[in-house]
Structure 1
Amino acid sequence: MTNSSLARRAFLKGFGAVSAGIIFPVAAHGVTLAKPQGRPATRGTEILSWIVIHEDNAVTVVVPQTEIGQGVTTTLRQMVGEELDLDWATMRTAFYDPNVNKTRGNPYVWTATLGSSSAHSLFKPSRIAAAQIRAMLIAAAAARLRVAADELTCANNVVRHEKSGRQLSYAALAPAAAKLTPPAADAVTLKAPDAWTRIGKPLPQVDTPLMTRGALRYGIDLELPGMRFAAIRQSPVFGGKLVGIDAAKLKGLPGAPRVVTVKGGFVGYNSPVPEGEDPAIWTAEVHMDDAVAVVADSWWQAKTALEALAITWDEGPHAKFSSGALARKLSQKVQGELPTVLAVGDIDAAFREAAKTHSAEYTYPYLDPAPLEPLNCTVLVKRDAVQVWAGTQFADDAHELTCKLVNLPPEKVHLHLVPCGGGFGRRLQNDFVHQAVQIGRAMPGVPVKLLWTREECIQRSAYAPLSVMKLAAALDARGMISGWRSKLATAKSAEQSYGSARFQFEFPAILAQYHRDEEAPLQFGWMRGVGQTQYLWMNYAFFDELAGLAGRDRVAFIRAHLDPERIPAALEKRDAAVARAQTLRRVLDAAVAKAAWGAKAPRSGRGIVVSDTSYYAGYESASKVGIVDVTLREDGTVSVDKVAITIDCGVVINPDIVRRQLEGCVSYALTNAFLSEITVENGRVQQSNFHDYPILKMAQVPKIEVNLLPSEDLPTGVGEDAVPITIAALVNAIADAGGPRIRSLPIRAPTLRQASA
């Protein structure tokens, strides 16, 4: 037996600090945080890097993530506020400083905003820190009041001695508390779930009022005195080089336009890499091509001047690249042998002894994450200090690359995180930060805001990879899958062999093979749902075909293959596989009971998928079921009538936020399935804006029902989970309605019309 090349040990090592006992460094100095949006800032005392207690007894919670719409500024308040007994009305949030995280030895534990990991990664560390701070405040109050610590209680930013009626505010205690040695992480007791008053409650998302009033300031809204604005154009062909610029037409244009050349090259990585581990397994390199920027007094002046430039490019070796040709190349690849990433049992015998066999091939196009707020970054470069304002999902990396570019120590570089108008993985690539710092370096002492056009965002993005998967299966005489063979070939990407090697079911014989085409020029980027979005629908569409071939009800077919008794006794980590199957079965049964699985109307169809987001045995993720109901119209088009999501995601910190995330996932999934495709001809991305790379409109969103199952397990992410299961259930629902078997995305109405005529 061979295992997937994903380094399980390294992954666990990288996340190990999440549940380990942690002693956080103490900072007792007075600080003034950047002004929170909508609230004044006052001086205060910082304790354990996580909070600042202000002179007016308000408390600022430091958020070690980027707010990209997932609601972390609310859920982290709930977690910290729970253990610290904070008055919700007095709580504020501020984003963390990457330099503080670096110099203090990573007190925030997990700072990259990716993988729907904030709730899971921060649930214990943030509460432990809050409990430590609470103990320190009580100890300071006990000393001040000369009473035993166990006689004191906390509530609403006050420590109270019930016997005497005396009390002290957190603000009065903070300076003394911050000087104390914090108790050990394993010496504090966290509140039991039955005592929670904030965790698990649908508290209002704190930035919603600002967003609905248009008052929340994103990076694109930032303005500084004396600011100038930059527009940028990169090589139209990936891998191209700048040859020359004719700036003659800039003379006399308004805004005093200035040309700045931006040099391409290696930028960094698009996700953290555990120390000592191979980046090729964990992440992907980020590269950018040469670019030309124009800086002017307004962004429109800069954009207009940029369009007046005559720029000459060497288009390089990819000037004839075509995504269609790559798809054909990958299709040829999966016809032959590829490197093996997982082998279980005797696959040849399974096919040789099969009662029936079946095979099919599936294709997934290049896709762009397409966040609504265009990429932007503001910089102010001075001789001995640099400030950067960026909505990046990987702020530690952005800080590090800035230090290298300006050749200053980390304490001289201050990165201000700002709220983002969406991320979906695109802001993990810090190419736009690299460019902005280069431009700012050419204009010392002048604040400069770089803003990409929508066209630049779509045509120079970091893409989910074009992929082809060939699947084959053997059915035994009982109509059960006895052998499963998958061959996955993708464009350049990070390691995603789990797309072929990690399905929901354990079959007696499995052979999974995987190949990445490193010659494909488009930049790889993480996208909402990552490899699960790309490949789960392929696996489940094929699985659904096998259910039909076996003449079995879909739910019964799924349940039968989740039978723990079928899991091979010799399977590595069999206990984890059994627990996984049992959990998936339990969630499946809950979803089926709620959905009243059974009869359907003519030309209607229903697809069902049960899954988790498990990349390897033992990976903790939510377990969920997606059920999609569709109607196939007479003209061959399809109506998505309802999407129901049932999920066990551990402790639900805020049910309203979880529901919003899952509803957003469904909309994102339907956008991907019906509307999204990036095509390339002559090395150039053909799409340019939302007219030819559209997104789902509000009027097109179907009825969405979310069922949250109770759980006491650690929270798991929900920001991506419903994307892959919605796509997978959708393609099976279309077939169930009498439509075609979907084997390539996006789903086009003419395809349905032709097949159903």
Structure 2
Amino acid sequence: MIYGQKLVADDTDVPPPLTNVSRRRLLGGGGALVLALALRVPAQAQGDGPKKFGVDAMPHGWRDDPKVFVAIAPDGVVTVTCHRSDMGQGVRTSIALTIADELDADWSKVRVAQAYGDEERFGNQDTDGSRSLRHFFGPLRHAGAAARQMLVQAAANQWGVPTSEVRADEHKVRHGKSQRSIGYGDIAQAAADLPVPAREDVRLKAPQEFRYIGKGNIDLIDNRDITTGKAWYGLDTRLEGMLYAVVARPPVFGGTVKAYDATEALRVPGVVRAVPIEPPAGPAEFQPLGGIAVIAKNTWAALKGRDALKVTWDDGPNASYDSDAYRSTLEEAARKPGKVVRREGDFDAAIKTAAKRVTAEYYVPHLAQAPMEPPAATVRIRDGHVEAWTCTQAPQATRDRIAKRLGVGADTVRVNVTLLGGGFGRKSKPDYVVEAALCSQAMGGAPVKVTWTREDDLSHSYYHTVSVEHLEAGLDERGMPVAWLHRSAAPTIGSIFAQDARHELPFELGMGLVNTPFAIPNLRLENPEVSARVRIGWFRSVSNIPHAFAIQCFVSELANAAGRDAKDYLLDVIGPPRIIEPTEIGDVWNYGEDPARYPIDTGRLRRVIETAAKGVGWGRQMEKGRGLGIAGHYSFLTYTAVAVEVAVGPKGDITVLRADIAIDCGPQVNPERVRAQMEGAVVMGMGLALTAEITFKDGRAQQTNFDTYEVTRIDGAPKEIHVHLLPDPDYAKPLGGVGEPGVPPVAPAIANAVFAATGRRIRRLPIRDQLSA
């Protein structure tokens, strides 16, 4: 299905964007070129040496199998199948423009089709880890370039001239000597009959030939549909005969239904049935929490029916969970020796002889992803086939979990991916889609849409981990750290896969902890053992958030103890520009990438810090109640820094007047999207710094809507956000991530600016009313 157009005659009740273009449909009515360029990368065990395939290497256990489809219809329309989910980051546009540039296509004739969940056909489709373009930029370019060469070859054959005399340009193939030209649609069938050129024979454009890549002149390909309300999200799905469901879930994680009475619920007009949903027998994983689904003829009736349910809950093992008390548990763990995850020199000896000793602890609470569109899914079972329509970041995991829960083969399950109204990691866990599948099964296969309310989303999320970060440093006579201890105590995401998991996993440790890039001779990093009491899941930037907050605030504290400028001191702690081998400092994960291609470059980190500082006017005289703060961080193979100016009012209210964010992610494919992601990261990071937290009493989340879980609102956003792009013009170099790296330095930059304005240290997030106390 081409975005915004309906190409299938059957199932006319299905929203247009949800059905993928079939080759038969594209070929119908005339010739067309359909190119499937597959780059198959075998899975590797962690620790295996890197294997390079052309310009792409995907080591350390990633199994990315890009199968990029390019179709050219007889009318010249180019359709690109996007295999990743678009949740506002604009991946449909970035993937399409990459292919269109190498294809020399006219952007006005480019369309996007969304791939359904099928790893064998489309490769890895998990939209996470800021890796969609990082992994597929090379294969996407090759797909476009191969299609271009096939069109050129077909035209040269038709004209009887050498291919060296023929070129593709703006959706036409041209022969300079004879001034002949032919449109892509007119030559597509002949091109389709040619063999796909070998990878080594494909000529990619030189960067100076790019028309779209790196130019920042392309609007979102579906922007008009989004802004006019024509775009389809998970909540928009409508099918003939569809029923609607909401679920009463256990209010405490691990709780179960002791008894229920649906008599009054069934009396609500429109309510059809109440269906028990069993919780998982083992770890939470991506399975539903359990509870009672109320199925009705409309969502309102389902909601009223759920209100009328009488349920007696067994709150289970987490009934006493209290986040305030748990903070004390984390503090106790962080103040004792833990599992050593990196050791250099002799911290104990160095701290004993240090001229000054500084100790601090930092607290980051649970957070909820809170996407603007809560989870939603529709499932229909018909003729032995299960079909889902949903806003998911993980269509393949969704397909697998549906198949296993229903006891059917994965080949009978199809997951259609809609647009996502935000995701931030929440929609990578398909528990809500499994709920819809179980409801459809209970209703004899009728289509059922499960809708989560905002209250459902905040009360039953996969929360970002809570943490206490304990740091100690010993300073020499010059005020520079010669000893550094960091203990990170936080429940792990691994707890949803193994109930006894009590240590952070390598990927969590590799998010700003073990790969701390400081020039400190004696350093020890530890990870104490703690247990999870709620579902822990991915959140934008994941463990980089607490690690960056603690480390960057602590460096500012050390600068103050040394009587130094905070920015200059941070640069001195990072040390001179140098290349660090991640595995040599304990980072065995390195974001799943070959450390030889992606080492840590402290010169790039220094550059973004200096750029952000220059942007905000670092060092200028500040009036009373105003201050500047700065922080830098390396995450997702990208370097970012944030410098902010804040004003603190007489009652402790904080206003972020200006934020400058600098990013070096290597070559930039779509600068407009990079800029947008950085602006969004600043606003989201402000929410984490100032207002956002999830707390628990008696196992229950205390924040249930945006009146209590406060995200940054328009009147609280910075008056100015300045994005400083530091692109690498060499497109042969590897790309870094963009979606997540902007968030981690925001909160510490704000906390450091508050200290500069007031002299008061912020060690606990969110700040809220700490300054008014």
| Secondary structure of residue in 2 paired with 1:543 | helix
Name the residue aligned to 2:724: 707
Residue 198 (structure 1) aligned with residue 219 (structure 2): no
Residue 741 (structure 1) aligned with residue 757 (structure 2): no
Whether the aligned pair in 2 keeps the contact of 1:263 and 1:291 (CA below 8 Å) is yes
> What is the correspondence of 1:564-643 to structure 2 with a 5 Å cutoff?
564=576, 572=584, 580-598=601-619, 599-613=621-635, 621-643=637-659
User: What is the total number of aligned residue pairs between the two structures?
Assistant: 696
Name the residue aligned to 2:695: 679
Instruction: Give, in angstroms, the shift of residue 85 of structure 1.
Output: 0.9
Deviating more after overlay: 155-164 vs 539-548: 155-164
Q: Which amino acid aligns with 2:605?
A: L
Q: Deviations over 1:351-383 (max 9, x none)?
A: 022111110111111110100101100111124
One of 527, 536, 544 as aligned partner of 2:556: 544
Instruction: Give, in angstroms, the shift of residue 312 of structure 1.
Output: 2.1
Q: Deviations over 1:71-117 (max 9, x none)?
A: 11111111010001111111111111222x32x4xx54x42111222
- After superposition, the Cα gap between the structure-2 partners of 1:227 and 1:570, relative to the gap in structure 1 and judged at 3 Å, is closer
Instruction: Give, in angstroms, the shift of residue 245 of structure 1.
Output: 2.1
- After superposition, the Cα gap between the structure-2 partners of 1:684 and 1:35, relative to the gap in structure 1 and judged at 3 Å, is closer
Whether the aligned pair in 1 keeps the contact of 2:35 and 2:143 (CA below 8 Å) is no
Whether the aligned pair in 1 keeps the contact of 2:338 and 2:529 (CA below 8 Å) is no
- Please report the TM-score for the alignment, with normalisation by the length of structure 2: 0.85
Name the residue aligned to 2:147: 133
Instruction: Give, in angstroms, the shift of residue 285 of structure 1.
Output: 3.5
Deviating more after overlay: 201-210 vs 335-344: 201-210
User: Structure 2: 5+ residue runs without aligned partners?
Assistant: 1-6, 37-67, 495-504, 587-594
> What is the correspondence of 1:163-562 to structure 2 with a 5 Å cutoff?
163-201=177-215, 202-265=217-280, 285-494=285-494, 495=505, 496-498=508-510, 499-518=512-531, 520-562=532-574
Q: Deviations over 1:507-541 (max 9, x none)?
A: 101110113523x2210111111111122011111
Distance between the aligned counterparts of 1:447 and 1:379, measured in 2?
5
Q: Which amino acid aligns with 1:241?
A: T
- Please report the TM-score for the alignment, with normalisation by the length of structure 1: 0.87
Distance between the aligned counterparts of 2:235 and 2:490, measured in 1?
34
Q: Deviations over 1:291-346 (max 9, x none)?
A: 21111110111111121111222221211111112111111111111111111111
One of 122, 133, 143 as aligned partner of 1:119: 133
Whether the aligned pair in 2 keeps the contact of 1:507 and 1:567 (CA below 8 Å) is no
Whether the aligned pair in 2 keeps the contact of 1:506 and 1:566 (CA below 8 Å) is no
Whether the aligned pair in 1 keeps the contact of 2:17 and 2:113 (CA below 8 Å) is no
Whether the aligned pair in 2 keeps the contact of 1:117 and 1:717 (CA below 8 Å) is yes
Distance between the aligned counterparts of 2:581 and 2:232, measured in 1?
56
User: Structure 1: 5+ residue runs without aligned partners?
Assistant: 1-30, 269-283, 615-620
- After superposition, the Cα gap between the structure-2 partners of 1:295 and 1:154, relative to the gap in structure 1 and judged at 3 Å, is same
Distance between the aligned counterparts of 1:419 and 1:266, measured in 2?
32
Whether the aligned pair in 1 keeps the contact of 2:473 and 2:481 (CA below 8 Å) is yes
Q: What RMSD in Å do the two structures reach over aligned CA positions?
A: 2.6
Deviating more after overlay: 205-214 vs 319-328: 205-214
Instruction: Give, in angstroms, the shift of residue 585 of structure 1.
Output: 2.0
Distance between the aligned counterparts of 1:404 and 1:639, measured in 2?
50
Distance between the aligned counterparts of 1:227 and 1:718, measured in 2?
39
Whether the aligned pair in 2 keeps the contact of 1:266 and 1:288 (CA below 8 Å) is no
Name the residue aligned to 1:43: 26
Instruction: Give, in angstroms, the shift of residue 36 of structure 1.
Output: 5.4
Q: Which amino acid aligns with 2:207?
A: P
Identity %: 34
Instruction: Give, in angstroms, the shift of residue 350 of structure 1.
Output: 1.2
- After superposition, the Cα gap between the structure-2 partners of 1:387 and 1:682, relative to the gap in structure 1 and judged at 3 Å, is same
Distance between the aligned counterparts of 1:606 and 1:53, measured in 2?
53
Instruction: Give, in angstroms, the shift of residue 569 of structure 1.
Output: 12
Whether the aligned pair in 2 keeps the contact of 1:504 and 1:611 (CA below 8 Å) is no
Q: Deviations over 1:166-189 (max 9, x none)?
A: 434333433443344322223212
Distance between the aligned counterparts of 2:191 and 2:652, measured in 1?
69
Q: Deviations over 1:18-43 (max 9, x none)?
A: xxxxxxxxxxxxx9799855999863
Q: Which amino acid aligns with 2:747?
A: I
| Secondary structure of residue in 1 paired with 2:745 | helix
Q: Which amino acid aligns with 2:554?
A: F
| Secondary structure of residue in 2 paired with 1:723 | coil
Deviating more after overlay: 633-642 vs 246-255: 246-255
Name the residue aligned to 2:156: 142
Distance between the aligned counterparts of 2:144 and 2:655, measured in 1?
49
Name the residue aligned to 2:104: 85
Q: Which amino acid aligns with 2:569?
A: F
Whether the aligned pair in 2 keeps the contact of 1:487 and 1:500 (CA below 8 Å) is no
Name the residue aligned to 1:158: 172
| Secondary structure of residue in 2 paired with 1:419 | coil
- After superposition, the Cα gap between the structure-2 partners of 1:87 and 1:655, relative to the gap in structure 1 and judged at 3 Å, is same
| Secondary structure of residue in 2 paired with 1:136 | helix
Distance between the aligned counterparts of 2:393 and 2:600, measured in 1?
33
One of 660, 665, 678 as aligned partner of 2:676: 660
Name the residue aligned to 2:750: 730
Whether the aligned pair in 2 keeps the contact of 1:470 and 1:488 (CA below 8 Å) is yes
Whether the aligned pair in 1 keeps the contact of 2:608 and 2:664 (CA below 8 Å) is yes
Instruction: Give, in angstroms, the shift of residue 145 of structure 1.
Output: 3.2
Q: Which amino acid aligns with 1:473?
A: A
Q: Which amino acid aligns with 1:514?
A: N
| Secondary structure of residue in 1 paired with 2:472 | strand
Whether the aligned pair in 2 keeps the contact of 1:257 and 1:301 (CA below 8 Å) is no
Deviating more after overlay: 708-717 vs 233-242: 708-717
Distance between the aligned counterparts of 1:569 and 1:97, measured in 2?
38
Distance between the aligned counterparts of 1:383 and 1:39, measured in 2?
18
Q: Which amino acid aligns with 2:741?
A: D
Distance between the aligned counterparts of 1:579 and 1:694, measured in 2?
35
Q: Deviations over 1:276-296 (max 9, x none)?
A: xxxxxxxx9434321211111
> What is the correspondence of 1:56-67 to structure 2 with a 5 Å cutoff?
56-67=75-86
Instruction: Give, in angstroms, the shift of residue 216 of structure 1.
Output: 1.6
